A and B are shown apart, each in its own frame.
Chain A
Amino acid sequence: MKKVLNTVMATMVAGAFLLPTAALAETIKVGAILAVTGGASFLGAPEARTLEMLAEEINAKGGVKGNKIELIIKDSGGSPEKAISFAKQLIEEDKVFAIIGPSTTGETMKIKQIAEDGKTILLSCAAAEVIVNPVAKYVFKTPQKDSDAVKWIFEAMKEKKISKIAVLTGNDGFGSAGKAQLEAAAPEAGMQILASEVYDKGATDLSAVVAKLMANKEIQAVVNWSIVPAQGILAKNMRQAGWDVPLFQSHGFGNIKYVDASGAAAEGIIFPAGRLLAPELLAANNPQKAPLMKYKADYEAKFKEPVSTFGGHAYDAFKILCMAIESAGTDREKARTAIENIKGFAGTGGVFNFSATDHNGLAHDAFAMWTVKGGKFVPYGK
């Protein structure tokens, strides 16, 4: 018995010595700070699921250039304070190669400097333009810019001959960045913001503020900018009050669960989002068609829930990181430069063309306008 044990031990020891020489490749640690729970969970949860799915897929194929990816997902619950401590932990203790996330703008802005100081690539899944403007060396983001979303919304309004609007925003980073963009772009677009209200991100009823705005008969449309369930509550309260002006939402509305939650009241909501919501409608020669169809099919088969634009942002971040490692290897500095050189990558958010001055890589046409019809997202027709 002892002999057997000794032999086993001997082989194990030998094996342990052999391993490093046998496999030159290493494990690449990738951190992710996502709002898996809490008010922004419609963003973070599909993002986390997407990353798990992609990491599993790539590791099953032998990893990136033979390097396995080890995902370390941290649930920030959407709280900037938690995001800060997770970012420090991931950079200082886990010494991760890169961080994907956070899900929200508020969190990203708080850890931007930490990533810069730690010389760690940060691929944010949050939308506001302030994340990459001004450019920070190590910080990238995959969702489309909020300034572009504002342009799309104002263009759609002009077509409807709307010029007097009310603006409602959530009191989080995404909401306040959106509010600033709307206010900045309004004069040039000929829009007049007659009322602007900010609500708590945990708001459960907005009927009183709807009554207040509704009393102003000059308001022709409402723009709401948030990523919380209040998006649906506002729709319900407006329609219940019999206020039938058009309701525009931000690109934070791109999860069908928001529509499910507001039921009949969601009908007719107009918002900008990427093309992931209905890739089957894309022309066959569109470079986005094949990857989007595959991601949608894979995600929906694995998690039994409809795909959302938010999961797509994590998809893009992960793919971009893999492409960088593929071309530059496991050196962090080289990988960072490699991201800036990525051109023509067709992801879920659009076709990315990064450069040293553009860490988002998406153009104005990455968006399309959508509306809700029969409880589904459909392209907004002219």
Chain B
Amino acid sequence: MTPELFVQYIFAGLTYGIIYAIVAIGFNIIYNTTGIINFAQGEFVMLGGMLAVSLSKLFPLPLAIVLAVLITMAVGALIEMVFIRWLDRPSVLRMIIITIGISILSREAALHIWGESVRSLPYFVGNEVSAVAILGARVSPQVLWVMGVCTVMVVALSLFFRHTLTGQKMQACSANRRAATLCGINARNMVTLSFMLSAGIGALAGCVMSPITYTSYDVGPDLAIKGFTVAIMGGLGNSMAAVAAGLLLGLIEAFSISVLPLAFKDAIAIGILLLILFVRPHGLFGKKEAAGLKEF
């Protein structure tokens, strides 16, 4: 393998990987505050992309993206308030069924609003054929946008959780919800906030990736499956581990193509998921003891 080809595979892998990681972080944020997997996470990515495409016809691109993210966050909050908030001590199973229902509902709604066509935002810089040369490989500028925006998001999120009061309150809820409530933290508001946050990052990822991958009403489930794989791989609830696992999976997929036919790409991803579930059910970076305390 030539060095150029090697770099080309690395970039392809990192592009998939970082998108998987963002979806996985969305899963983790909600999992940490509620203990459930929100299977509608992929739909947030879809909504962000679709809204931005529609709004970009009315507003300049940056404003359209900001609005799309804000609207998706509002939708996330609304979903939580309508479907989750009023439930008193819901079972994990019930919550999962609810989120699957929300996922189907938002997909159908998107189908009625936008129709069945694929759409995409214009490339932020350049067009469909432009490329930047990096170490002999040619990479679309949009790939750099995806990596840049996603990296900023990851850093900003980790700063938010560590250094702001609200972030710490959310962490407190995830550590021990009852104790947090006793300290005067409104746990229900934190849950709403977590839905808004994960809707927001999903939507932003949906916007930056749409020129590369296109977006349509039904992109959600595929993303959710990959994001879920990554979240499990890293260890549920651990966002930094999700980033590592996401990049790892992306790179494995990209390099698998170099030796095996393309058709095996997804089989490899699922194979790895199964292997991890057998060998390290608490994830590559998770602690066995911590996993033992969780309900799910």
Contact = CB atoms under 8 A, between A and B. Distances in A.
Contacts of A95: none
Given A198-B262, A262-B128, A240 B5 contact: no
Contacts of A206: 262
Interface residues of A, number: 38
A265 B254 contact: no
Contacts of B213: 204-205, 233
Contacts of A200: 263, 265-266
Contact of B12 (A207, A242, A257): A207
B151 interface: no
Contacts of B120: 261
Given A211-B8, A240-B140, A197 B128 contact: no
Contacts of B137: 211
Interface string B252-268: 01100110011101100
A42 B117 contact: yes
A38 interface: yes
Nearest to A230: B214
Contacts of B216: 229
Interface of B: 1-2, 5, 8-9, 11-13, 15-16, 111, 115-120, 127-131, 137-140, 212-214, 216-219, 222, 253-254, 257-258, 261-263, 265-266
B12 A264 contact: no
* Most chain B Cβ neighbours within 10 Å, of A45, A205, A235: A205
Contacts of A301: none
Contacts of B129: 236, 239-240, 264-265
A32 B15 CA distance: 41
19 contacts: A37-B111, A171-B263, A198-B261, A200-B265, A202-B222, A204-B219, A205-B213, A208-B254, A208-B257, A208-B262, A211-B8, A211-B137, A215-B5, A239-B129, A261-B119, A261-B214, A263-B127, A264-B127, A264-B129
A127 B253 CA distance: 32
A77 to B, nearest CB: 9
Nearest to B129: A239
A212 interface: yes
B89 to A, nearest CB: 37
A50 B140 CA distance: 38
B121 to A, nearest CB: 11
B210 to A, nearest CB: 10
* Most chain B Cβ neighbours within 10 Å, of A36, A37, A198, A232: A37
B8 A241 contact: yes
A264 B128 contact: yes
A242 B131 contact: yes
B19 to A, nearest CB: 9
B8 A207 contact: yes
A215 B137 CA distance: 12
Nearest to B118: A229
A58 interface: no
A208 B13 contact: yes
Contacts of B115: 45
B240 to A, nearest CB: 25
Contacts of A232: 214
A236 B116 contact: no
B116 A240 contact: no
A250 interface: no
B16 A242 contact: no
A15 to B, nearest CB: 39
A199 interface: yes
Nearest to A244: B129
Interface string A225-238: 00001001101100
B176 to A, nearest CB: 40
A240 B8 contact: no
Contact of A265 (B1, B16, B128): B128
A269 interface: no
A197 to B, nearest CB: 5
Interface in A12-56: 36-38, 41-42, 44-45
A205 B16 CA distance: 8
A197 B138 contact: no
Given A45-B115, A199-B263, A212 B131 contact: no
Nearest to A228: B118
Contact of B128 (A36, A37, A239): A239
Nearest to B131: A240
B118 A45 contact: no
A83 B11 CA distance: 40
B246 to A, nearest CB: 15
A205 B9 contact: no
Nearest to B133: A242
A209 B257 contact: yes
A240 B130 CA distance: 6
A112 to B, nearest CB: 25
Contacts of B138: 240-242
Contacts of B118: 229, 257, 261
A212 B6 CA distance: 10
Contact of B257 (A212, A235, A263): A212
A155 to B, nearest CB: 28
Contact of A236 (B13, B128, B253): B128
A38 B116 contact: yes
Contact of B15 (A41, A207, A264): A207
Contacts of A41: 116-117
A212 B258 contact: yes
Contacts of B265: 200
Contacts of A257: 117-118
Nearest to A262: B128
A262 to B, nearest CB: 6
Given A37-B218, A42-B117, A198-B263, A205 B15 contact: yes
Given A239-B129, A240-B128, A208 B12 contact: yes
